[in-house]
Each structure stands twice: as structure tokens, then as C-alpha cells.
């Protein structure tokens, strides 16, 4: 398993500088035995190997005695300065020795004058250069000892003489770096953070809130909704040709039916374009009648992922108060504060979740262990289409799900900077044509490619993602769905990019609350903020490695199973994106017959769904209790679909829902 390498000189905890100590030899016994949850809500019987810990203090590499010496070095000022309080006798001896040295020097210089012409100047110059090099090397080696105490330069202490408020975050009780893990507890509003936080930053504060789109796309038909009779409007379709180009349809100047998911609309007045807009819709596909994987024994739920690029745990707590309040209180969502990124930027964090493959090596040399090579080389990832690789999207499709991927960047996780991505994406609804029309040359009109910039229309790229995800949520009321939204623009370059969008994500959760109540909903980050002065703070140093992760489970599972308890317990431990992937796979594969953990008498409860064969197609749902080999039906078995007049021949209202008359009435 891949994890973040611990090789940076960035502070784990800011504090006074500690004189570096040469580490002892690392023996082969240092190995990863850190027990991690294989998924976020499972039990504790599975081990996730090779998980490194960004918060683990590097205690085993520094002997306890050496640490004490370093502490005493700073605590004892007399050891941190030179003493010139010599005794009288030592002064006399020094003067006598200096006299002898002067005589010897006179003889030496006399001899030097006579033999100077025999000196090998080239060798002397080389020797002098070597001496200077050695001197400077020595100074560089011991330069940390000259850094003032309480300095916040390159060298930050990771153990030793720390500020009192952070001393409890580390432990020196273990000699094995994999045996113990002290996770930090800190104030997300730490005083160091305050200068970098501006909750009032809003790029839309001056936008025109009275503006309404001049065109509309609804039910696969486009129309002009402006009352301005002087407008001449037109529309055209955008389909995906490749990841980096669209197939663009001809302009249609008569409003009416249109058979694509992404429609560019433009309006002109006096032959001058005054409006450009991109619409989206989800055109539902027929139900998957026979999934590749047999699913009759599975209780399946919708899965929705909202990933906000560069959102860390602490930044999420600061920037999304309304969204997280609703998510944790109404949806019983659980936040995981100790999730560790597994790569530097978006791609090496996203690909392991989607494909389960690492793109970066794991450098474990700090602990004297071998480097773990990546699963996929850069060449293979970038130069080979990934259509035939197993991904979450293809797996969900095999289980009968309809899938969606919406990113607000035309390059995206699979393509940046020069990678081929997919040839034929295993995704039912892929938003890439929208981004191509908005960003790429010769794809959209000038006004179309500006309408999301500058905040004039009170609309940003993340709004378009939420629109598309909402359309997807409503398009398949009777089919299972897996949707992934990846918002890149908001917070990629700024600590303050998410505040103003809090209401948008909050509104999405409320608007689609009925559908989401029966779904697994993830709110994720890929990593923390990677740029800016905030990286120099204690919180910022943690944030870059600590992506936000939260999960809400379907309401039916919250009180009838122990899954919520497992989530809450696992949130106290370190996790990684691999655990998130394992959780998503478990949702897809292992929620068999919705098994309930009954809390007494050793019983297990099941909800069982049954469907009759043709011609009735009657559907029934009931609860059963299993104790040993005994099965008991609990309460009434209910008819769960409409049956109209198909049972009119039965007089008993009690029996009618279970029956189907042989002779059907016409028009029934």
C-alpha cells in the first residue's frame, strides 16, 4: 500500500530548534505493523499494510539520551557560549608557548624565502580549495546549532523542547515507528491561522443578482425565455469526441427538441452577440436489465461523492459551517480528522481511489526500509488509454449502476498535463464536453467562454457541477446511481475559496434530501492547500497532508445496524484514500440482504425483498429474524408495488395484495 513519504523538512510541530543528532543504524526489525481499517465502517479484524503516518513523530531515530543532551544544550546558557575565564597559570603557559611559536615562525619564513621557487603552486592552490571546501562543509553540517532558539526557519523541531501546547501530541514510549501513532488534536482556528483566513471573501459580491438566463433547456427542448423581441438566439449541441475535443453540431435557430446533454446557447442584438450560455441536462438511459455481476442477493444504495480539490480537514471545518452542520446533524455524517493523502497532487490521490493503483513511489528510507515502487509508471499511465483498467465507474456499471463524472476543468484528473485518459470512458454521463466548450479554443463563442468568469452572472463552475449532479439525481428514480463530482476551481489556489460556496453545497443537500436520505454520501478532499504562506504555520503543515473526509450512510442503516458505531470508532484512527476506496467497494459488493446486527438474544434481522414471476410481477418486502436454524417472519409481509385491479376477484382486503386473478378485467 502506498502512503506519503516522510522526507520533508517542513515542521510537524513548530517549536524551538533541536540540535540534529546522528541517527543510529536502523535494523531490519523496523517494519510496518500499523493496523488500519480496511474500510471506514468495517470491523477491526483486517490489516492495511504499508500505511505511513504523516503525524508520527520521528522518535525512534533519535536516542532518548541524545534528546536529553539537546534539551540541556538549550536549557543551559553556559553551554551555548564560549568561556574566556582563564586562570593566571594558563595565561602564563599560553604566553610562553606563543613566544616559542614566534621564534619557530621566524625560522620558517626565512626558510620559505629561500625555497619559494621550489613550491608546486598548482598543488598548493588545489589544497587550499579543498581546505576551504572542508571548512564550509563543516559549517553547513553544524549550521542548525547557530539558528536562534524559537526560530521558524527551515529547521523545525519534530521532538524535544517543544512549546507546551503541543508537547502532548508526541510520544517517546516506543522504539518502533509503526507500533505507536500519536494523532494531533489542535484548534482549527489556531492563532497562527487567523491572518490567512477571510470568511468575507466573495468573488460574487458584485454580481448581477437580477440576471436570468435568456434561454432554457428543459425536457430535451430548448427555448427563449426573454421578452426582448430584438434578440436573435441560436443553440447547438456539444458531444464528446475525445477527452480534449468535442463534436460540435450546427446552430439551430428555431427553439424546439434537442437530443444532447450539453447545449450552447447564444443571442445577438443588432447582429452583435450579447449572450453566451452553456446548459446541461441528463438524458436517462434504459435500465440495465442484466448486470454483469449477479445482484439479486444485494441490497443496493445510491452513492454520491462530492470532492472539493485542496480541501483539508481544518479548512473544511472553517469554510463550510452550514454544509457540515446539516451533514453531521441531519444526515448523521461522520467526519474523519486523520486521513492521510497518498500523493503530492490531485492525480496520485485520485487515481488510487478510482483504480486502486499508486502513481508515486513510497520512500521509506527514513526508517531504513526499501523504496516501494509505484504500481503504474508515468509512461504507462499517460500514454495508454485506461478503458480496459478496472475502475470504480466500470465496477459500479457491472453491478447495474448508472454512473456520472463531473469535473470543472477540461484537463481533469486523467489528462493533466499530457495524458490520454479514456478513449471510450466507462461512464454513462461524462461532463467533459461542457468543459471543452467552455475552455478550449474554437469550441465556444467568446461570450460563452466568459460567462462563468468574473462573477457577473452570479454563476461559477461549481454551480454547473451541482446542476448536473442534481439532474442525474432526479433522472433515475428507479435505477441505482454512482455520481462523482470534482470541483477544482474553488479552493485550489486559496485558503478562502470555499467560504462563499458553502450555501451552494448546503442547498444541494437540502434540495435533494429525499434521494440522499437513502444514499451513501461522501464529502472529500484530495489533499490540503499546497500553496501560500499558510504552509509555514503549524496547521498549514498538517493541512497539506490531511484531506477532508466525511461520510453519511442511508437512514435505514443508521439505527438498525452498527455501521454508524464503526464509523465513529474508525474516525479516531489514521486512514488514507485506500480506506475510502475499500469502503466504496464494500458498499457495492457486500451489503448482502441488508443484514442487521440485532443487539440481544443472539438474533440477526434481515429485510427480504421478493418479486413474483410473470404475469403478476408482484413485489413483497418483509422482515425475518434468524436465531440458529430457526427463521421467524416479523410482522406483516407487505406488497411494495401497485397492483390496481389485478386482484379484483378476491373479496378479502387482507388477501387481495397477495393475489393475481386468472381472468383479468379489460382495462385493469
pLDDT digits (tens, 9 = 90+) for 250-291: 999 999 999 999 999 999 999 999 999 999 999 999 999 899
Question: 3-state DSSP call for residue 388?
Answer: coil
How far, rounded to the nearest angstrom, does the alpha carbon of residue 4 sit from its chain's CA centroid? 13
- Residue 174 has what pLDDT? 52
What does the pLDDT look like over 231-252, one tens digit per residue?
A: 999 999 999 999 999 999 999 9
Q: Residue 593's closest CA among 621, 635, 559, 634?
A: 621
Q: Is the pLDDT at 5 greater than 90, yes or no?
A: no
Give the span between the Cα atoms of 385 and 642, in whole angstroms.
46
129 lies in some domain: no
How far apart, in whole angstroms, are the C-alpha atoms of residue 351 and residue 34? 24
Whether residue 68 lies inside any domain: the answer is no
Percent of the chain whose pLDDT exceeds 90: 50
CB 319, CB 555: distance < 8 Å? no
Give the containing element (helix H, strand E) for 105. helix 88-115
Q: Quick check: is 327 in a domain? A: no
CA neighbor of 178 nearest in space, from 62, 51, 67: 51
Task: Give the tens place of pLDDT for each residue, 55-83.
Answer: 333 222 222 333 233 333 333 333 333 33
pLDDT at 133: 67
pLDDT given at position 374: 95
Contact 327, 333 (CB under 8 A): yes
Is 245 within 8 Å of 436 (Cβ atoms)? yes
Flag whether pLDDT at 144 surpasses 60: no
Rounded Cα–Cα distance for residues 152 and 163 (Å): 12
- Residue 422: pLDDT above 90? yes
Considering only CA atoms, which of 387, 380, 109 is closest in space to residue 243?
A: 387
Banded model confidence at residue 183, pLDDT cuts 50, 70, 90: confident
Of the ranges 79-93, 182-196, 580-594, which is most confident?
Answer: 182-196
Closest CA to 50 of 115, 96, 100, 4: 4
Hey, is 283 helix, strand or coil? coil
Residue 84 pLDDT exceeds 80: no
Asked whether residue 99 is domain-assigned, the answer is: no
The pLDDT-based confidence of 311 (bands split at 50, 70, 90) is very high
Q: How far apart are CA 378 and CA 355, in angstroms?
A: 15
- For residues 478 and 287, the answer to whether their CB atoms sit within 8 Å is yes
Q: Identify whether 618 is part of a domain.
A: yes
Residue 630 lies in a domain: yes
Q: Is residue 220 in some structural domain?
A: no
Per-residue pLDDT, 53: 37
pTM (whole model) above 0.95: no
The reply to whether 246 falls in a domain is: no
- Span 211-229, average pLDDT: 95
Question: pLDDT tier at 483 (50, 70, 90 boundaries)?
Answer: very high
**What SS3 string covers 141-185?**
HCHHHHCCCCCCCCCCCCCCCCCHHHHHHCCCCCCCCCCCCCCCC
pLDDT band at residue 134, thresholds of 50, 70 and 90?
Answer: low
pLDDT-above-70 percentage for the chain: 71
Query: What is the predicted pLDDT for the residue at 555?
Result: 93
- Alpha carbon distance 307, 602 (integer Å): 40
φ, ψ dihedrals at 552, nearest 5°: -115, 140
Distance CA 158, CA 397 (A): 47
Radius of gyration of the chain (CA): 34
Give the domain extent around 633: 603-655
Q: Quick one: which H or E segment has residue 520?
A: strand 519-524
The count of domains in the chain is 1
Give the chain's end-to-end CA distance (angstroms, integer): 60
- Pairwise CA distance, residues 136 & 142, whole Å: 10
pLDDT per position as a tens digit, 509-520: 999 999 999 999
Beta-ladder partners of 279:
263
- Between CA 11 and CA 606 the distance in angstroms is 51
Average per-residue pLDDT for the chain? 78
Is pLDDT of 162 > 50? Answer: no
Confidence label for 299 from pLDDT (cuts 50, 70 and 90): confident
Q: How big is the CA angle at 87 (ends 83 and 92), to the nearest 5 degrees? A: 120
Buried b (16+ CB within 10 A) or exposed e, 76-105: eeeeeeeeeeeeeeeeeeeeeeeeeeeeee
Query: How many Cβ atoms from other residues are within 10 Å of residue 639's Cβ?
Result: 16
CB 558 within 8 A of CB 564: yes
Q: What mean pLDDT comes out for the span 190-195?
A: 92
What was the pLDDT predicted at 121?
66
Which range of 57-66, 101-110, 430-439, 631-640 scores highest in mean pLDDT? It is 430-439
Amino acid at each position: 500500500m502506498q502512503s506519503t513519504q516522510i522526507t520533508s523538512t517542513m515542521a510537524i510541530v513548530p517549536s524551538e530548534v533541536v540540535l540534529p543528532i546522528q541517527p543510529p543504524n536502523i535494523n531490519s526489525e523496523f517494519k510496518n505493523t500499523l493496523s488500519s481499517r480496511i474500510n471506514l465502517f468495517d470491523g477491526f479484524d483486517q490489516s492495511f499494510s504499508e500505511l505511513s503516518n504523516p503525524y508520527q513523530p520521528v522518535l525512534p531515530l533519535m536516542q532518548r539520551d541524545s534528546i536529553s543532551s539537546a534539551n540541556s544544550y538549550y536549557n543551559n546558557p553556559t553551554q551555548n557560549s564560549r568561556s574566556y575565564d582563564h586562570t593566571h597559570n594558563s595565561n602564563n603557559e599560553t604566553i610562553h608557548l606563543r613566544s616559542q611559536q614566534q621564534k619557530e615562525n621566524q625560522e620558517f619564513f626565512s626558510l620559505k624565502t629561500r625555497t619559494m621557487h621550489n613550491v608546486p603552486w598548482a598543488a598548493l592552490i588545489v589544497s587550499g580549495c579543498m581546505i576551504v571546501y572542508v571548512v564550509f562543509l563543516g559549517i553547513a553540517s553544524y549550521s542548525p546549532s547557530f539558528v536562534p532558539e524559537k526560530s521558524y526557519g527551515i529547521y523545525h523541531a519534530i521532538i524535544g523542547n517543544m512549546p507546551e501546547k503541543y508537547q502532548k501530541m508526541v510520544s517517546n514510549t516506543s522504539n518502533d515507528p509503526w507500533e505507536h501513532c500519536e494523532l494531533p488534536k489542535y484548534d482549527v482556528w489556531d492563532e497562527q491561522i487567523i491572518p490567512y483566513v477571510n470568511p468575507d471573501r466573495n468573488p460574487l459580491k458584485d454580481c448581477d443578482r437580477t440576471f436570468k438566463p435568456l434561454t432554457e433547456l428543459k425536457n430535451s427542448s430548448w427555448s427563449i425565455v426573454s421578452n426582448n423581441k430584438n434578440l436573435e438566439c441560436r443553440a447547438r449541441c456539444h458531444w464528446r469526441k475525445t477527452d480534449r475535443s468535442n463534436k460540435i453540431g450546427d446552430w439551430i435557430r428555431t427553439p424546439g427538441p434537442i437530443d444532447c446533454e450539453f447545449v450552447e446557447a447564444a443571442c445577438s442584438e443588432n447582429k452583435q452577440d450579447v449572450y453566451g450560455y452553456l446548459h446541461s441536462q441528463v438524458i436517462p438511459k434504459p435500465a440495465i436489465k442484466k448486470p454483469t455481476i449477479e445482484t439479486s442477493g444485494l441490497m443496493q444504495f445510491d452513492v454520491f461523492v462530492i470532492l472539493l480539490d485542496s480541501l483539508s480537514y481544518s479548512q473544511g471545518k472553517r469554510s463550510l459551517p452550514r454544509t457540515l452542520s446539516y451533514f453531521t446533524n441531519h444526515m448523521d455524517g461522520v467526519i474523519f480528522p486523520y486521513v492521510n493523502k497518498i500523493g503530492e497532487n490531485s492525480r496520485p490521490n485520485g487515481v488510487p481511489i478510482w483504480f486502486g493503483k499508486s502513481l508515486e513511489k513510497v520512500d521509506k528510507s527514513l526508517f531504513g526500509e526499501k523504496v516501494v515502487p509505484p504500481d503504474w509508471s508515468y509512461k504507462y499511465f499517460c500514454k495508454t488509454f485506461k478503458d480496459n483498467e478496472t475502475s470504480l465507474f466500470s465496477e459500479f456499471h457491472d453491478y447495474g449502476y448508472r454512473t456520472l463524472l463531473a469535473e470543472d476543468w477540461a484537463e481533469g484528473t486523467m489528462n493533466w498535463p499530457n495524458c490520454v485518459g479514456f478513449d471510450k470512458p466507462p461512464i454513462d454521463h461524462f461532463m467533459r464536453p461542457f468543459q471543452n466548450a467552455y475552455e478550449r479554443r474554437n469550441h465556444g463563442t467568446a461570450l460563452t467562454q466568459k460567462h462563468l468568469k468574473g462573477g457577473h452572472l452570479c454563476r461559477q463552475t461549481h454551480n454547473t457541477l451541482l446542476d448536473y449532479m442534481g439532474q442525474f439525481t432526479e433522472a433515475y428514480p428507479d435505477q441505482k446511481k454512482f455520481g462523482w463530482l470534482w470541483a477544482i476551481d474553488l479552493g485550489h489556489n486559496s485558503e478562502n475559496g470555499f467560504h462563499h460556496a458553502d450555501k451552494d453545497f448546503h442547498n444541494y443537500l437540502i434540495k435533494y434530501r429525499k434521494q440522499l436520505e437513502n444514499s451513501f454520501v461522501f464529502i472529500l478532499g484530495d489533499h490540503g492547500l499546497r500553496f501560500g504562506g499558510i504552509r509555514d504555520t503549524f496547521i498549514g503543515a498538517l493541512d497539506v497532508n490531511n484531506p477532508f473526509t466525511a461520510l453519511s450512510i442511508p437512514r435505514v442503516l443508521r439505527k438498525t445496524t452498527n455501521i454508524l458505531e464503526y464509523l465513529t470508532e474508525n474516525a479516531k484512527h489514521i486512514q488514507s484514500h485506500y480506506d475510502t476506496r475499500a469502503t466504496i467497494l464494500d458498499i457495492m459488493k457486500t451489503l448482502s440482504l441488508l443484514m442487521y446486527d440485532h443487539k440481544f438474544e443472539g438474533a440477526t434481522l434481515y429485510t427480504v425483498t421478493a418479486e413474483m414471476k410473470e404475469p403478476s410481477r408482484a413485489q413483497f418486502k418483509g422482515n425475518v429474524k434468524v436465531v440458529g436454524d430457526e427463521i421467524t417472519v416479523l410482522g406483516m409481509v407487505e406488497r411494495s408495488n401497485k397492483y390496481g385491479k389485478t386482484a379484483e376477484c378476491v373479496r378479502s382486503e387482507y388477501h387481495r395484495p397477495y393475489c393475481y386473478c386468472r381472468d383479468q378485467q379489460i382495462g385493469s
